[in-house]
Amino acid sequence: MSDDIIAFRNGNGVLITTQGPGRVHLISYASNHQLENVVGTIGTHNSGVTHFMISHSYTFTGFAFYWDGSGEAVFTIGDQPQTLCQPVGSSWTKAVNIMYGGHPTLNTDVSKEVPSAVERSGYITCFKIPNLS
């Protein structure tokens, strides 16, 4: 990935594009204020395309996510969808992991972070982007 496309810097958000119903699972971990990890899901029942955006929290420096849906899911960073479109993993042992200000790593095992995480489905920093077309 290009050195100038870094997650959460200069407006380079993380956009997930999914096909079909399912859920994005997100864990925010490695708090710089010794807070507990936070894990949760956000889902869609849409049979077509749904877009999700992962935001960040200055409290956490690690973010990992995966998709458990019936169709495929890919993610992009910033405004480079053609060059940075990458597949989203399907479990905590094959998740996409992004450290704040860093490049994503695919198929990362973050399962050791999950047992200590506080469940916050519906209150995580992953948002559905409404279809405005």
Per-residue pLDDT reduced to its tens digit, 43-93: 999 999 999 988 877 788 899 999 999 899 999 887 765 556 788 999 999
Q: What secondary structure letter does DSSP report for 45?
A: -
Q: In whole angstroms, what is the distance from residue 46 CA to residue 41 CA?
A: 16
The domain segmentation of the chain, as residue ranges, is: 14-129
Q: pLDDT tens-digit profile of 27-39?
A: 999 999 989 999 9
Torsion of Cα atoms, 11 then 61 then 26 then 106, to 10°: 80
